[in-house]
Structure 1
């Protein structure tokens, strides 16, 4: 077995066991029925903490991940998950809840190490394969967890508390697997190996046009030099990416949509609990997770094999899908039928998963491979900032602390606003292109030479469509 295949196998096993958490589809029911929290306490005091801790730890973890070279942070992720489920099973009280939400925030933020490890350890020629393998592994873990959870609950072989023991076993195995990951000798920013170096005037110039002085070179104990070089590389990647309007467009949708999406998955179970109170229907949270997982995977694969001119139709699709998601959330907020809420959520989440896959691909295809972790991390951080604002304003006890149905009315309006933003973008783009076509036609009418027409269309970006 080749080295990259061995690394892929370990990463895939880690991903499967990390995502195999059958207790998650029923965590709200568990907290209410077995930990004696009220629904209001769960929604207004416990769940908001996870969002705040995630936001607070993400930027720190991102930089530490690069400096410590991934493996130790992946191990920390496993430890955090183990701590979460130990406290969920044996801990009690609101202070215990604060601690496990803090650990959960760390577990979420440290996922950046798992998804960027491959870019530091695997040769570039294998990036696409390993990325595909790890993405599939996490989906397999999610799907199996949802199916097993629903089967055990429906057959009454396990209750909500006992599902946590399965999850604890799985994340403990995941922690053990992390120790088998090969160590990484270099990283993207703090331990970067200069690319195609050449000596110019006593300094080293790498492929990214960042000047690296001899004191900054790999292997030096000079921490100040490493920090200085890392800052220059970070800033160069940041400015290069976000000076591209195409990346900015997709990143705006990514951040705003992800903020709303994260808020929905945090509070959908309490909404289902609220709707279920009006009926005697069996809870099928696990089945819902299984269905949207498999649908998202199949549609993402399908989109990947269909040639769609995203530069031409991307803005329009983002507008339509955002408006549709807003409608689905309003629909869910008004229904008293659990199955209707389930179907609405499946459609909502599948649409998001497909479009975030497209957004990730479009952004990744227009930036350097080394900067993908930074740009993805920034987009996620902005999403968490927006989600934290939503949480505090709408759900937190310190804010409006709205009921669940009014909350989902707000979230529906949020996606309508997002759709409206892209409707404006579509309109402005259409007017601009119409003006450019008119200018091009005027050149033709005036008998301008052919090379002037070609130059005009290229300079205005029409040729890129």
Structure 2
């Protein structure tokens, strides 16, 4: 210890490194050398941002315009709610597997997760080659396959066999990834590129908020504190509710489209008959 004025003063050398880092961080954060250039870039016409005081009003108008299409609104709803359920299941699946097989040190949890991710990616690529009128059948497809997701989660929760649970998780992830790809494609197809960040960012934000609420209610609430098996029953019921909503909406869309096309065909036939009569 160094001596000063006859007294020993302790020297804590550990403070030097953190202090230097904090000083460098403070200097760089206050200097901001690229801020003028970034501001000009972000407020250009390509980014559709503005420095005017009414930018909140502009943002609200943009949101209203983007979500004015009912069909696109439903695809956005699935994107947000599906994201919430997917990340909730992915975050707690390891806890369920530990509950099913608590003392298995040779479990293939990571391998199953990796393989299911690859199969989901392959299914997402394959769905791009499916010839289907997604604007008509898309919502019904979402409803039907979301019901399969709900069923997989129910069975995953009820089984006591780790391999059966692995299989249903593989099915869950393989189905979810192409469905979210369909939603992303349908949303992007109906949007101007300048509004991609707005809509997809808002969908992600809504999904994250829903996930936080679901976590707070199902897991962190002191009065509830559901066990892991009850949590997965809740997630399965959550996807079942989404499936019901989109199945009903999908049936309505298909019937509405068919009726509209039938009227168009009848009108064209009448017009053709009139032309022949004249």
Fold conserved between structures, TM > 0.5 = yes
Q: Does 1:336 align with 2:187?
A: no
Q: Would you say the 8 A contact 1:393–1:399 is kept in 2?
A: no
CA 1:307–1:322: 2 relative to 1, 3 Å: same
Per-residue CA deviations over 1:195-237 (Å, capped at 9, x if unaligned) read: 6xxxxxxxxxxx97x9xxxxx7xxxxxxxxx152643542343
Per-residue CA deviations over 1:18-71 (Å, capped at 9, x if unaligned) read: xxxxxxxxxxxxxxxxxxxxxxxxxxxxxxxxxxxxxxxxxxxxxxxxxxxxxx
Q: Does 1:191 align with 2:42?
A: yes
Q: Which has the higher contact order (CA 8 A, sep 6+)?
A: 2
CA 1:340–1:442: 2 relative to 1, 3 Å: same
Q: Could you tell me how far apart the structure 2 residues matched to 1:305 and 1:183 are?
A: 44
Q: Could you tell me how far apart the structure 2 residues matched to 1:353 and 1:409 are?
A: 21
CA 1:184–1:363: 2 relative to 1, 3 Å: farther
Q: Could you tell me how far apart the structure 2 residues matched to 1:365 and 1:322 are?
A: 22
Counterpart position of 1:385: 209
SS of 2:53's equivalent in the other structure is: helix
Larger Rg belongs to: 2
Q: Would you say the 8 A contact 2:112–2:166 is kept in 1?
A: yes
CA 1:245–1:268: 2 relative to 1, 3 Å: same
User: Which residue of 193, 199, 202 maps to 1:375?
Assistant: 199
Deviates more, 1:388-397 or 1:351-360: 388-397
Q: Could you tell me how far apart the structure 2 residues matched to 1:410 and 1:375 are?
A: 28
Deviates more, 1:304-313 or 1:265-274: 304-313
Task: Report how far residue 389 of structure 1 moved.
Answer: 2.4
Counterpart position of 2:89: 264
Q: Could you tell me how far apart the structure 1 residues matched to 2:196 and 2:67 are?
A: 12
Per-residue CA deviations over 1:372-424 (Å, capped at 9, x if unaligned) read: 11111111122122222221221113351111111111111111111110111
User: Which consecutive residues of structure 2, in runs of 5 or more, have no partner in the other structure?
Assistant: 1-33
Q: Could you tell me how far apart the structure 1 residues matched to 2:212 and 2:43 are?
A: 34
Q: Could you tell me how far apart the structure 2 residues matched to 1:402 and 1:340 are?
A: 23
> What is the TM-score of this pair, normalised by structure 2?
0.76
Per-residue CA deviations over 1:332-361 (Å, capped at 9, x if unaligned) read: 111111111111112111211111122112
1:391-406 to 2 correspondence within 5 Å? 391-406=215-230
Counterpart position of 1:351: 175
> What is the TM-score of this pair, normalised by structure 1?
0.47
CA 1:364–1:185: 2 relative to 1, 3 Å: farther
Task: Report how far residue 287 of structure 1 moved.
Answer: 0.4
Task: Report how far residue 438 of structure 1 moved.
Answer: 5.2
Task: Report how far residue 267 of structure 1 moved.
Answer: 1.0
Task: Report how far residue 443 of structure 1 moved.
Answer: 4.2
1:36-75 to 2 correspondence within 5 Å? none
CA 1:187–1:291: 2 relative to 1, 3 Å: farther
* Equivalenced residues, count: 241
CA 1:291–1:448: 2 relative to 1, 3 Å: same
1:71-220 to 2 correspondence within 5 Å? 185-186=37-38, 191-194=42-45
1:290-309 to 2 correspondence within 5 Å? 290-309=114-133
Counterpart position of 2:11: none
SS of 1:283's equivalent in the other structure is: coil
Per-residue CA deviations over 1:296-339 (Å, capped at 9, x if unaligned) read: 22222222344432112211210111100000000011111111
CA 1:440–1:310: 2 relative to 1, 3 Å: closer
CA 1:231–1:386: 2 relative to 1, 3 Å: same
User: Which consecutive residues of structure 1, in runs of 5 or more, have no partner in the other structure?
Assistant: 1-181, 196-206, 211-215, 217-225, 453-465
Q: Could you tell me how far apart the structure 1 residues matched to 2:99 and 2:36 are?
A: 48
User: Which residue of 444, 449, 462 maps to 2:271?
Assistant: 449
CA 1:192–1:229: 2 relative to 1, 3 Å: farther
User: Which residue of 429, 436, 439 maps to 2:260?
Assistant: 436
- How large is the RMSD of aligned CA atoms in angstroms? 3.0
